Amino acid sequence: MAKYSTPSQAHTPGTQVPSAKQWAEVVRLRTLPAAVAPVLVGAAVAFPFSWVGVALSLLAAVVALALQVGCNIANDYSDGIRGTDDDRSGPPRLTASGAVAPHTVKMMAFASFGVAGLAGLAVLALSGQWWMLMLGVAAVLAAWFYTGGSKPYGYLGLGEIFVFIFFGLMATAGTTYVLRGDVPWQGWVLASCVGLIACSLLMVNNIRDIDTDPTHGKMTLAVRLGQTRARVAYGVLLIVPGVLGAATLATYGMGLADVRIFVFAIVMLIGVAVWAVLVKKALEPVIRGAMGHALIPCLKFAGLYELAFALATMAVIASSH
């Protein structure tokens, strides 16, 4: 098993071969299901669509995954060279541990952004919505300057705004728009739900480092709220989307034939049951007052919750047609 280097090696070229676990940590593998969730919800709202729509959806998923991976790697690089990750409570990162040279980590982030850009161009070519190119550029810039640059907005407690806009509204409603040319009101509400769940991931991640981030000037929203209010906010960010989403999805079942209403109701009940289990799993460590490594399961369950929300949305909308 590879051993992690000391924090003092963070700014020197890496001499170790990163383990699979280290790679999984830098891309935050447990949260990646949440990257495709907005695309699934956006596609569900646009259902039904043609085979071209299937290709667009797959390309949009590549954009979302590559953008999130790039953002995670960029955070590893930027936080690492600032020294923010030297005494973090989570698993050591590639840059801070000295396992990989900082320049290499930065190039990995740019490569991920490049993949997102190429897939995004393919989406625009197929859909003809070239005006959305500026949104893609904005998303990449926002991903980099979250912790990069001289004045990263993530250090000012504005990270949740970025996540809500780009990993919620833009990823979800954007997918719907390229598939059908408009976004119904349900699409905007469901996109907001996805954005709130995505914010819960960032919130619990920052709660984990709430005691060490201020030392390095990283005043996240969790730091500004404090332990108690940040944990309450995390719970709200999980629960509100479930309730609001269920109310919105219920509008799809109105005026249907009897058999379809029955199927719709069963799907809704199953979705509510899964929602309750995942919310309990995601909230349990936070309610107990868990700290540091003990909060890592919250990230996994919150990520699975966002994916479950997306799959439930797809099932409900499909059962209403």
What is the pLDDT, as a whole number, of residue 249? 86
| pLDDT band per the 50, 70, 90 thresholds, residue 259 | low
* Residue, of 239 and 273, whose pLDDT is higher: 239
* Residue, of 149 and 190, whose pLDDT is higher: 190
Please compute the mean of the pLDDT values over residues 34-43 and round it to a whole number: 92
How far apart CA 243 and CA 247 sit, in angstroms, is 6
Domains and CATH numbers, the chain: 19-320 (1.10.600)
Least confident of 30-34, 120-124, 125-129: 30-34
Most confidently predicted of 8-17, 37-46, 278-287, 294-303: 37-46
| pLDDT band per the 50, 70, 90 thresholds, residue 20 | low
What is the pLDDT, as a whole number, of residue 189? 95
Tokens 């949260």 locate to 31
Which ranges of the chain would DSSP assign to H, the alpha helix?
A: 20-27, 33-46, 51-82, 94-97, 102-127, 133-145, 159-164, 171-180, 185-208, 221-225, 227-249, 258-288, 296-320
